Copies of this chain bind each other. A is one copy, B any other.
Amino acid sequence: MNAQSTPRISADGTVLHLLLGEAETRFHAIWLRDNALDADTRDPGNGQRLITLGDLPDTVTLTDARLAEGQLHITFQPEGKTCAFPLRWLADHTYDTSAPAPLLTKNVTPWDSAMAPPSADLTALQTNDDTRRDWLASIRRYGFAKVTGMTPREGGLFDIVDLFGYVRETNYGRLFEVRTEVNPTNLAYTGLGLQAHTDNPYRDPVPTLQVLACLENSATGGENMVVDGFAAALRLRDENPAGFDLLAGYPMRFAYTGSAGVALHSRRPMIELSPDGTLQSIRFNARSAAPCTDVPFDKMADWYAAYRRLSDIIDDTAQEVHFKLAPGEAFIVDNTRVLHARKGYSGAGNRWLQGCYADKDGLLSTLAALEAQDA
């Protein structure tokens, strides 16, 4: 550290100026105090904060900033409490930037039909942490991955969920059968082709992951397809930014009332952004789209034009990756991002898939823990 890196405190004591790497960055006294890392502020065992904002003085100021051994030592007033912050930790948590929030988070890469589907063998996933980490990372990056080498048995798909988390049970059960039924409660249970869609947008919270595993597939047709909803939304945004803003700016309605005792309704946008504009999730499902009643009359024609264009983009084969699952193969999609579809099927032979839902919290947590283990 050279002389330039000496930390400086603003005249009123509320802001610290600090050279981190090449750039000067600033932290507020209240931010530093609230996020102090000492054992009276954070439980050393479980890392949870032991104080609330109400435990702090009304005004927090700083004195005596100095650097030693890669740490900032600083004293909070009126408490007279000195705390240390590793400079690396401060660099990882700087907020003094003029960059707007990115449209996509750093671990997300959009894709089109040229994507080679990530895939791994179930036994390898169960026995090799590196294989499992890389496969989970590909789901975080692409919202999609395949699994091979399953025993094609009932409930076998739970072995996939056990790799990272927990099944989300719903009115469809812990798992559901995807095969042709008489009097189907859902068009999924017919031989009809299905446009690419996210599942259960009428559910809030939506299931954030879906697994579909193949037990039999000797019917003609029935290929699966996946489409990156983020890539489709970005393409819409490039072509028609105002249309993108309309789909992101108003809630859509979705509904499902096809089974006795079930009346699911949601009110969420087709393109969901964080409040600072990061792409968060996609809901797209023609089957369960309810009448849209939250868009003002004067904007409805443009909203529908954008919706139709998004639908066309989703139907464009340039966006689509397709494959036919063999018995013992499965795929997982991030249901907040990647749409899935199937071609119609018919004729002799059978097509039998089993599906289940799960959630991303467990998947991302397991991945982050595996990555931390490597670090």
- A264 to chain B: which residues have CB within 8 Å? 361, 364-365, 368
CA distance A204 to B308 in the complex (A): 30
Write the nearest CB–CB distance from A370 to chain B, whole angstroms: 8
Taking a contact as CB atoms closer than 8 A, the residue among B31, B49, B295 that contacts A304 in the complex is B31
Q: Does A312 contact B (CB under 8 A)?
A: yes
What 0/1 pattern do residues 28 to 40 of A give for CB contact below 8 A with B? 1011001100000
Mark the stretch among A67-75, A95-103, A113-121, A218-226 that contacts chain B: A95-103
Check if B53 sits within 8 Å of A94, measured CB to CB.
no
Check if B251 sits within 8 Å of A275, measured CB to CB.
yes
A residues 215-265 touching B (CB-CB < 8 Å): 248-251, 255-265
Q: Does A5 contact B (CB under 8 A)?
A: no
- A355 to chain B: which residues have CB within 8 Å? none
Q: Does A362 contact B (CB under 8 A)?
A: yes
Write the nearest CB–CB distance from A12 to chain B, whole angstroms: 11
Check if B205 sits within 8 Å of A28, measured CB to CB.
no
Mark the stretch among A145-153, A285-293, A323-331, A346-354 that contacts chain B: A285-293
Q: Does A20 contact B (CB under 8 A)?
A: no
Per assembly, the copies of the chain total 2
What 0/1 pattern do residues 194 to 208 of A give for CB contact below 8 A with B? 010000000111101
A171/B362 contact (C-beta < 8 A), A30-B301, A53-B286, A101-B294 known: yes
- A54 to chain B: which residues have CB within 8 Å? 195, 308, 311-312, 315
Check if A364 sits within 8 Å of B265, measured CB to CB.
yes
Taking a contact as CB atoms closer than 8 A, the residue among B35, B249, B263, B307 that contacts A275 in the complex is B249
- A364 to chain B: which residues have CB within 8 Å? 264-265
The size class of the interface chain A forms with chain B is: 35 or more
Check if A366 sits within 8 Å of B261, measured CB to CB.
yes
A291/B171 contact (C-beta < 8 A), A183-B45, A208-B205 known: no
CA distance A26 to B366 in the complex (A): 51
Taking a contact as CB atoms closer than 8 A, the residue among B48, B169, B278 that contacts A167 in the complex is B169
Q: Does A50 contact B (CB under 8 A)?
A: yes
Q: Does A337 contact B (CB under 8 A)?
A: no
Give 15 CB contacts A-B under 8 Å. A28-B301, A46-B187, A47-B255, A48-B186, A48-B287, A49-B289, A52-B315, A53-B308, A54-B315, A97-B296, A98-B296, A204-B360, A250-B276, A260-B369, A273-B275
